[in-house]
Amino acid sequence: MRTTALRIYGKNDLRLETFELPRIRNDEVLVKLVTDSLCMSSYKAAIRGSDHKRIPDDVSESPTVLGHEFCGEIIEVGELQKDRFKQGQRFVVQTGMKETYDAIGYSFHYMGGDMTYGIIPGFILDKGYVLPYEGDAFFYGSLAEPLSCVIGAAHANYHTIHGEYEHIMEIVRGGNTAALAALGPMGLALLDYLIHREHRPAVLVATDIDEYRIERAKRILAPEDAAANGVKLVYLNTGKFENPVAELKKLTDGAGFDDVFVFAPVSQVVEQGDAVLGYDGCLNFFAGPSDETFGATFNFYNVHYNATHITGTSGGNTDDMIEALELATLNRTNPAILVTHIGGLDSARDATLNLPSIPGGKKVIYNHITLPLTAIDDFEEKGKDDPLFAELARICAKTGGLWSAEAERYLLSHATPLDADKYVPEGVK
């Protein structure tokens, strides 16, 4: 079977190409990839090439496929897997494996999120990393992976009891939590999760320096909704204050924060997070820097006398993904709040390479159509000349401007199919 995939050959060298897949082995499954949510981790892989820990050294001769936040359906099952998987079954994959740095979306030649069809290797199936998905929208499944990352971050924070030598995992229930530089897609995912789970903080402060992002966050995660769930949610533009640390501490009556999550690899933000920690406060550095020498000052006086500490997470585990799927299925969380753009597979290359400069939240790629990456906010204007966008604008208006299962169904049935022949490399028949 032919597939069309976004493959990485080296630093900033991404190519959308059509090529033949081998026949599946008895322990493998052939899958149709429907959606992939673009991640900053893919951008970091694209700009670093083989210098990235998960990208093979020989990628220039043997390219791998990008994309790790995907959802699809199984179309063929090897004999050894037929008691566990079936044709037509929808699925998601936990791509961060415990055993190795290798991961789908970085290290595999015939499997990744940005492709039309792929082959899942047997050892990934056997390890339980492929999870059934019963939702009514593929993009919800794609967002289970990023949601699992923030779920894992909340679980990874830890605290202590004075005089005892045992870490208590999780954020402080009923405590003070701050999320700094947090109104991008991953920060919004954390806020949504912390507000709508049972183990909640009493005070939740989210900061940014972009007023547009703050106003959008207020619309989709309103303080009134948070209050109904027992959480005092405060949005703060730290760029407006000469002393943002003092302003943040005021919101805790001077006590400081039990849990701080840092979403930007910026030294000043890390140091701000350190400065607002209360006694036994835990700082979670969630933002993954591209600079291997990145560092920041940390107050070790407070480490010694106030028991402050730091952790970092770069993904969730399989249990976190299962939790993400359950919360979305129960409508406890709304992954649609993360999505600001949609596009076809032919837009994935440029979108990935320019991801830091494209405003908004998650960019969802639909692998079997051709469509320029388009902001949902632009649907109405584009709809003046294009009936596809006119109808999508009408559908999204029903959900307050959010992407939806209905919008996805309409897109998949009315958009122009991807022309695989267009992407056959020169010299290949």
| C-alpha of 385 from chain center | 32
Residue 158 · residue 348 · CB < 8 Å:
no
Element (H, E) at 277: strand 277-285
pLDDT band at 344 (very low <50, low <70, confident <90, very high): very high
What is the percent of the chain where pLDDT is above 90? 87
Count Cα neighbours of 127 within 13 Å in the Cβ-side half-sphere.
Answer: 17
- Count of structural domains within the chain: 2
172 and 114 together in one domain: no
How far out from the chain centre does Cα 388 lie? 27
Indicate the DSSP class of residue 115. B
Q: Point out which residues pair with 2 in neighbouring strands.
A: 20
Q: Is residue 153 part of a domain?
A: no
Distances (CA, A) of 160 to 31, 164, 169, 301, 419: 46, 7, 9, 17, 57
304 phi-psi bin (left φ>0, alpha ψ -120 to 50, beta other)? alpha
Contact between residue 274 and residue 248 where contact means Cβ atoms under 8 Å apart: no
For residue 288, the domain's CATH number is: 3.40.50.720
Residue percentage of the chain with pLDDT more than 70? 100
Shared domain for 198 and 299, answered yes or no, is: yes
Residue 155 lies in a domain: no
Q: Which of 283, 306, 329 is the last residue of a domain?
A: 306
Q: Is the pLDDT of residue 294 over 70?
A: yes
The torsion angles phi and psi of 160, rounded to 5 degrees, stand at: -130, 165
d(CA 5, CA 114) in angstroms, rounded, equals 6
In the predicted model, is pLDDT for residue 99 greater than 80? no
pLDDT reading at 378 higher than 90 = yes
Same domain as 211, residue 283: yes
Question: Alpha-carbon torsion 214, 216, 217, 218, what sign?
Answer: positive
Do residue 354 and residue 269 come from a single domain?
Answer: no
pLDDT at 101: 79
pLDDT value at residue 289? 87
Write out the residue range of the structural domain in which residue 235 sits.
Answer: 161-306
Q: Both 25 and 95 in a single domain?
A: yes
Tens digits of residue pLDDT in 221-247:
999 999 999 999 999 999 999 999 999
Tokens of 158: 């830890």
Instruction: Flag whether 93 is in a domain.
Output: yes
Nearest residue to 217 via CA among 232, 236, 194: 236
Where among 257, 275, 306 does a domain terminate? 306
161 three-class SS: coil
Residue 124's domain is classified under what CATH number?
Answer: 3.90.180.10
Residues in the chain: 429
Write the pLDDT tens digit of every residue in 75-98: 999 999 999 999 999 999 988 777
Tokens, residue 12: 């900033």
Q: Which of 252, 278, 306 is the last residue of a domain?
A: 306
Residue 153 host element (H or E): helix 144-156
Task: Give the pTM.
Answer: 0.87
Contacts of 180 (CB under 8 A, 6+ apart): 207, 238, 260, 261, 262, 263, 264, 269, 272, 273
Q: Give the chain's mean pLDDT.
A: 95
Does a structural domain hold residue 212?
yes
Residues 169 and 224 in one domain: yes
Per the CB < 8 A criterion, the answer to whether 119 and 130 are in contact is no
Residue 192 lies in a domain: yes
Does 426 map to a domain? Answer: no
Residue 331: pLDDT over 90? no
Is 276 part of any domain?
yes
Query: Between residues 318 and 423, which one has the greater pLDDT?
Result: 423
Please, which residues bridge with residue 205 across strands? Answer: 178, 234
pLDDT at 270: 98
Q: Tell me phi and psi for residue 363, to 5 degrees.
A: -105, 115
Clarify whether residues 29 and 129 are in a common domain: yes
pLDDT at 291: 87
Q: Is residue 429 one of the residues assigned to a domain? A: no
As a whole number of angstroms, the distance between CA 97 and CA 14 comes to 24
pLDDT (0 to 100) of residue 429: 60
Which is more confidently placed, 429 or 13? 13
264 plus 296 within the same structural domain: yes
Distance CA 65, CA 9 (A): 9
129 and 25, same domain (yes or no): yes
For β-strands 362-366 and 374-375, DSSP reports them as unpaired
Q: What is the pLDDT at residue 318?
A: 87
Mean pLDDT computed over 179-199:
95
Q: 409: which residues sit within 8 A by CB, 6+ positions away?
A: none
Q: Are residues 135 and 201 in the same domain?
A: no
266: helix, strand or coil: coil
Quick one: which of 359, 397, 360, 353 has its CA closest to 379?
A: 397
289 and 342 in a common domain: no
Tokens 């912390």 correspond to what residue?
194
Q: Does residue 322 sit in the same domain as residue 264?
A: no
What's the pLDDT tens digit per position in 146-183?
A: 899 999 999 999 999 988 999 999 999 999 999 999 99
Q: Which amino acid is at 364?
A: V
Residue 314 has what pLDDT? 79
- Angle at the Cα of 180 from the Cα atoms of 68 and 227, rounded to 5 degrees: 100
Structure tokens at 147: 């949601």
Q: How many helices (H) and strands (E) does the chain have?
A: 15, 19
